[in-house]
Chain A
């Protein structure tokens, strides 16, 4: 058995576990389970991170209070939080497709940035030639194609040579990030500015804002993408085929499915959605790509998708809290002098604590059997 089979076998196991946990557990109250599975670990993660804050001499209460106030309790902060969700949602959609199909696409950062550069390189040039909606559509389409193209080599290697995609997508990601920066500096550079960056899409030509707020309508498209992917994977025959490949490629082959083709399709969908994520940030929020710009959303979203158990709805909820955290900590970096990198610490401790919580839960259930 190859390594991938093993990973899939494991993920299939966890899925049946998840199904089992949906049944009512009589022995312990639902309240206790929620405590061990979500509330407890979240509190533990915040406490753990608070200790680190105290170590570097920051009052955790002030910091957490500031983040909460800045990102969720202020009108402007809440709007920024909602806008930030758009690219993260597209990335989640891409990861859900891949992870459910048993493909570890860890290269979304490169796909995201190249998609962003593709959108930023074309959209400003098309303004005035095409109607507004067509400019945006062209930007999104091109970004999806470029993102998908960047996954072709890992996809081919995985589908036809059986080369582990974890490492190939990671390497292509490093390459993609550097290539995006090179393209901005050498080819798509705006001659009118002194700082190397692409041409800027005028604010009026960007994605429309929602109602009277500053929230980009990219949020709606992101939500649609996640929900569509969720329905596709859970309710359609195509989704079932992809999940079969993910659960057991050998069985899928025996069932008459073309595993290599489905693998290629998974990569294309996943990387295409990552490209759309890049476009949504450019066409909706920033309007251009500065050289060396890399928000590195891609790897950060992986723990979120995993914590949501590859479930679209769960991912949306987590993305909401995560973008609130990002907006709050970006502001805290300026006001309180705590670098944004602290968010990484918080998410990592959340991942560890939630993992531990899940283990404790499983352990208790086994004892009860």
Chain B
């Protein structure tokens, strides 16, 4: 193990942590808005996967990563529209529809991918990187912190923007009201269903972007079922963050580091089966839930459809 603590190892560990954290960060930020508004968005896994598929497809056809990200957001939003219509407008059960949508997207993307690419898994070229002279040349942290694709910094910016939105703006208050006490918001003249639809669509866009990042930058290709629970981890992050975007960022970095450590160990030649290594992020989530689950704070009206005048 003595050879582990080299500059190259640390650098790749940090890089891996960021690459693994960004999809979870985006999904977690998206889910947070849904939960704030009172919708438990279990369909986020499906939105992410659709984002990964569409994001990859667009990037592959147009050879533009940015259009790929747009395509990914669009993919996530498409799934979110179904979720919003069924669960917010029609008030169907959020958990069952969420699971159903996730399964449906898993099937659909695997099917489409099968007929488009058969068993070839084409790759995208490596992404261009932001190069900040001076900073990028720093040892260890240079290439990993300052040499990433621009989208990483936009994701970090989103944390700050959302924190501001939740704390300082009317929109943030309205969102919380829709989740804590929809009836009160309704009486005050707010549009409960409208704000919830907005929140679900936002979740779709963020999750889709996270999926597109996963496919286009994380992996460089699309694989059926490739999200593998990242969306669900996003739900946990949102639950534990108690409505604060910064905590989603911290949580996703911790999980990203755990993921990247395990990959790094694997590369370093330990002979633990991959199954055990893949268990670690989920085990970490369970550990966190056992230790801090009690402190997770969820909006009062989460999971319940709102219908005016219903008791």
Residue ranges of A at the interface with B (Cβ–Cβ < 8 Å) = 1-3, 6-7, 9-11, 13, 52, 55-57, 104, 106, 153, 157, 161-164, 166-168, 170-172, 174-175, 178-179, 181-182, 185-186, 299-300, 302-303, 306, 338-339, 341-349, 351-352, 355-356, 358-359
> How many Å lie between the Cα of A290 and that of B263 in the bound state?
25
- Let me know if B111 is at the binding interface, CB within 8 A: yes
A selection of 14 A-B contacts at a CB cut-off of 8 Å is: A3-B299, A3-B303, A3-B304, A57-B115, A167-B235, A171-B232, A171-B286, A299-B102, A303-B96, A303-B103, A306-B96, A344-B107, A351-B96, A356-B90
Q: Which of B100, B229, B236, B276 contacts A351 (CB 8 A)?
A: B100
Q: Which residues of B contact A57 (CB under 8 A)?
A: 115
| Bound-complex Cα distance A103 to B2 (A) | 49
* Residues of B close to A7: CB separation below 8 A: 95, 303-304
Evaluate whether A166 and B42 lie within 8 angstroms (CB atoms) in the complex, with A3-B298, A352-B86 already known: yes
A174 to B279 alpha-carbon distance, docked (Å): 8
Considering only CB atoms, which chain B residue lies closest to A343 in the complex? Answer: B107
Chain A nearest Cβ from B232, distance in angstroms: 5
A208 vs B249: C-alpha distance when bound (angstroms): 55
Contact call A347/B224, Cβ cutoff below 8 A: no
| A6 and B107 contact, CB distance less than 8 A | no
Instruction: Please give me the residue from chain B that is nearest to A110 by CB atom.
Output: B282
Nearest-CB distance from B144 to chain A (Å)?
A: 28
Q: A52-B108, A178-B279, A345-B111 are in contact. Are A168 and B289 (CB under 8 A)?
A: yes
How many angstroms from the CA of A358 to the CA of B90 in the assembled complex? Answer: 10
Q: Indicate whether A174 sits within 8 Å of B96 (C-beta atoms), given known contacts A167-B236, A182-B273.
A: no
The answer, among B105, B296, B304, for a CB contact under 8 Å with A10, is B304
A161 contacts across to B, CB distance below 8 A: 293-294
Minimal Cβ-Cβ distance residue in A for B114: A339
The smallest beta-carbon distance between B267 and chain A, in angstroms, is 19
Cβ 8 A contact of B92, one of A3, A9, A345, A355: A355
Give the residue of B40, B90, B310 whose beta carbon is less than 8 angstroms from that of A359: B90
Chain B interface residue bracket vs A: 35 or more
Bound-state CA distance A166–B44 (Å) is 14
In the complex, chain B residues whose CB is within 8 Å of the CB of A186: 273
Contact between B100 and A347 (Cβ–Cβ < 8 Å)?
Answer: yes
The 8 closest A-B pairs by CB, nearest first: A348-B104, A344-B107, A163-B293, A6-B304, A341-B110, A56-B115, A351-B100, A341-B107
Please, what's the 1-or-0 string for B267-303, where 1 marks a CB less than 8 Å from any CB in chain A? 0000001011011001101100110011010111111
Residues of B within 8 A of A341 (CB): 106-108, 110-111, 114, 224
In the complex, what residues of A have CB within 8 A of residue B236's CB?
167, 171
Distance, CA A343 to CA B99, complexed state (A)? 15
Tell me the bound Cα distance from A104 to B98 in angstroms: 13
Knowing A57-B115, A170-B232, A341-B110, say if A175 contacts B296 (CB, 8 Å).
Answer: no
**Is B185 among interface residues, defined by CB-CB distance under 8 A?**
no
Task: Give Cα A105 to B274, complex, Å.
Answer: 27
Chain A residues positioned under 8 Å from B298 (CB to CB)? 2-3, 164
A175–B232 contact, CB under 8 A? Answer: no
Which chain B residues lie closer than 8 Å to A168 at the CB level? 286, 289, 293
Closest to A55 in B: B112
Instruction: Tell me how far the C-beta of A39 lies from the nearest C-beta in chain B, rounded to whole angstroms.
Output: 20
Q: How far apart sit A344 and B45, CA to CA, in the bound complex (Å)?
A: 15
Min Cβ gap A352→B in Å is: 7
Answer yes or no: B82 CB below 8 A from chain A CBs.
yes
The reply on B258 being an interface residue by CB < 8 A is no
Query: Is the pair B285, A171 in contact by a Cβ cutoff of 8 Å?
Result: yes
Contact of B40 (CB < 8 Å), options: A2, A3, A52, A162 = A3
Tell me the bound Cα distance from A341 to B104 in angstroms.
9
Chain A residues with CB under 8 A of B305: 10
B93 within 8 A of A: yes
In the complex, A186→B271 CA distance in Å?
Answer: 12
Cα distance A174–B276 in the bound complex, in angstroms: 11
| Cβ contact of A348, chosen from B92, B107, B302, cutoff 8 A | B107
Residues of A within 8 A of B300 (CB): 1-3, 6
Q: Which residue of B lies closest to A7 (CB)?
A: B303
Which of B114, B229, B305, B310: most chain A CB closer than 10 A?
A: B114
B24 CB–A CB distance under 8 Å:
no
Q: Who on chain A is nearest to B101 by CB? A: A348
B97: interface (CB < 8 Å): yes
